[in-house]
Structure 1
Amino acid sequence: MRITLFRVDAMPLVNKKKCVSCKKCVKKCPVDAISMKKGKAQINNDICINCGKCIKVCPVKAILRDREIVELEVASNIKSFKKNLAKSKSKKSRNRMIKNRMRQMKVQDKVLRDTLKEMKHLKA
């Protein structure tokens, strides 16, 4: 079992179920960070500059904004965690699972904060 604690790549995300393969986002992207894979838009986060032009041009709102991504990830994490928590046989083991997961998330939070701090030094 692996739960994504945080998405490190907080760039636009394509909801592949909503994508209708119109390619408007591909044409609008100023840095060619969007390509089509299996008939659906895919954003290369290493190239994406997070300008938001793809979000504005998408006719079906298949490209999610940062705020929407956070909401989606939190809901997904909680749903998955509750499912695993339900498998636990006792209140004591559930509490241990919660405590352990919170510890893991605090470590991940520290990693992200320290990474952000170091990245500030890279700015020109």
Structure 2
Amino acid sequence: MTPELRNTCHHEAINQVVFPHDFSEVFATCSKEELRVWNSRTRQELLRIQVPNIECYCMDFARDGRSIVTGWHDGKIRAFLPQSGKLLYVINDAHKNGVTAITCSSDIGK
């Protein structure tokens, strides 16, 4: 017999679940040290982004779907590409006690 991975899951509490604007085919979850992107129909994990030793408190998809913006225990905001998980940018010192809430505006000028 060949082992087959059937399901994956977070190993810590899930802090947030978000769907992209006007798109229900995928969703993302965040937890301690990671966020994951899932296919909502198949329930399969599509992407896992890990940041060791730091808890992800919150996240949101950019309104255009081109990034996942996340808030972390270390006070930084990190944005990732949703297809590859590549780090797009970091905002240092966004909050001294950790970033606990975040939302993306449809107005890119703000």
TM range (shorter): under 0.3
TM-score (norm 2): 0.22
> Which one has a larger percent strand, Structure 1 or Structure 2?
2
Structure whose alpha-carbon radius of gyration is higher: 1
Return the structure number with greater relative CO, CA threshold 8 A, min gap 6.
1
TM-score normalized with structure 1 length: 0.21
